[in-house]
């Protein structure tokens, strides 16, 4: 799985970290999203996609590799 975050678009809403905390977090400096891991078991892949869909800024892109 390939996950990218456009940090210039990210508004720091935190929906990704709330929806899939095992995949996303927010940095302590700016509160912007960061990817923790892309090596996900199938049950977490769906949560990673849902979190991307819920991003109010549309800053997260998820692709299967």
- The domain that holds 29 is classified in CATH as 3.30.70.20
15 three-class SS:
helix
Per-residue CA distances from 34 to 40, 45, 57, 64 (Å): 15, 16, 14, 18
Q: Which domain holds residue 20?
A: 2-63
Number of domains into which the chain is organized = 1
25 three-class SS:
strand
Q: What is the pTM of this model?
A: 0.92
Contact 3, 11 (CB under 8 A): no
* Positions of E strands within the chain: 2-5, 24-26, 33-35, 60-63
Measured in degrees and rounded to the nearest 5, phi and psi for residue 62 equal -120, 125
pLDDT (tens digit per residue) in 21-63: 999 999 999 999 999 999 988 888 999 999 999 999 999 999 9
């Amino acid at each position: 799985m390939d996950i990218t975050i456009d940090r210039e678009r990210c508004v720091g809403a935190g929906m990704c970290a709330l929806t899939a905390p095992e995949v996303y977090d927010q940095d302590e400096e700016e509160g912007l999203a960061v990817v923790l891991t892309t090596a996900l078991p199938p049950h977490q892949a769906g949560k990673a996609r849902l979190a991307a869909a819920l991003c109010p800024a549309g800053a997260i892109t998820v692709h299967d590799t």
